[in-house]
């Protein structure tokens, strides 16, 4: 695959000038936790960016595990993406409706992890698109299936054993992107069967703090300062984690914007860790 000429993050004005360009695909990657009471498919039907196709995160995940949003096999991802009319030569822009990149960064990262670098995230998502007075449409996109060859770069993914080996070490940083209340064990998890808390030695940086009040990405200087304020060193290896491997990808995007070395994702994240009854620490990061 050729290197991407796309910025990592694009503005609504950048996109509106290019809508309809052959080879440019827009994906609505919205996904929400059940407790949020939002239906992303219904919202897509009610209004989406012109020409956008709906990327169903659940359907694009491994169906052979009880864990949510685990990466699928190479051929399964390729078949799903190809069915959306996305080919290896296409440029892709992803967005969601959360206002803080809850799921769009995950889909952005999935494409990159499967070898497709020609993907960007729409800054501010549909919230910013609406605030700018841009047009929405209700007509579903008509797509022609394409071939999409995918190959996962496994250096970008960590499993539970690797994360457990990294706990308490100084040379690897585990960064948990859940809220401070969940991280510290004060607030319950959205999945009620799981206890809250965190892995020993983990740092905490809620993913909602990587955007401003308008939902747009922080400027690079402010982003760097926020990450460093959480006790995270940009020049040391990082493993990002969250509840189900979704919102943690916002950190992977942020690190790439800053030119930091490639970080890895703990795909099973807290759902796997807590569900397997691995050691849990409560209280602030130490």
Active site residues: 242
Shortest CA distance to 53 belongs to which of 164, 185, 145, 172? 145
Pair 137, 48: CB distance under 8 Å:
yes
Contacts of 246 (CB under 8 A, 6+ apart): 31, 57, 69, 102, 103, 106
Pair 206, 180: CB distance under 8 Å:
yes
Token pair 């290019």 is found at 18
- Torsion of the alpha carbons at 210, 214, 216 and 221, rounded to the nearest 10: -60
First CA to last CA distance, the chain: 43
Length of the chain: 286
Token pair 């809250």 is found at 196
CA distance 87 to 52: 15
């Amino acid at each position: 695959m050729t290197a991407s000429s796309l910025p990592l993050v694009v503005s609504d004005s950048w996109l509106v000038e290019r809508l309809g360009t052959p080879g440019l695909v827009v994906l609505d990657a919205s996904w929400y936790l059940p407790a949020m009471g939002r239906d992303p498919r219904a919202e897509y039907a009610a209004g989406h960016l012109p020409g956008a196709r709906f990327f169903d995160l659940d359907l694009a995940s491994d169906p052979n595990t009880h864990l949510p949003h685990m990466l699928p096999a190479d051929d399964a991802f390729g078949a799903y993406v190809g069915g959306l009319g996305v080919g290896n030569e296409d440029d892709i822009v992803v967005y969601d409706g959360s206002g803080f990149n809850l799921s769009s960064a995950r889909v952005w990262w999935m494409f990159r992890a499967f070898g497709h670098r020609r993907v960007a995230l729409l800054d501010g998502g549909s919230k910013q698109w609406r605030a700018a007075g841009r047009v929405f449409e209700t007509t579903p996109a008509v797509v022609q299936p394409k071939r999409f060859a995918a190959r996962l770069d496994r250096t970008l993914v960590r499993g539970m054993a690797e994360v457990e080996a990294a706990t308490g070490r100084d040379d690897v940083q585990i960064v948990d992107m859940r809220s401070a209340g969940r991280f510290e064990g004060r607030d319950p998890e959205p999945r009620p069967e799981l206890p809250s808390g965190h892995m020993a030695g983990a740092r905490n940086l809620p993913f909602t703090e990587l955007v401003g009040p308008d939902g747009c990405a922080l400027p690079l200087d402010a982003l760097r300062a926020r990450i460093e304020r959480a006790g995270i060193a940009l020049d040391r290896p990082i493993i990002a984690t969250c509840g189900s491997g979704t919102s943690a990808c916002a950190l992977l995007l942020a690190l790439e914007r800053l030119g930091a070395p490639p970080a890895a994702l703990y795909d099973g994240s807290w759902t796997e860790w807590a569900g397997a009854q691995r050691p849990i620490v409560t209280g602030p990061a130490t």
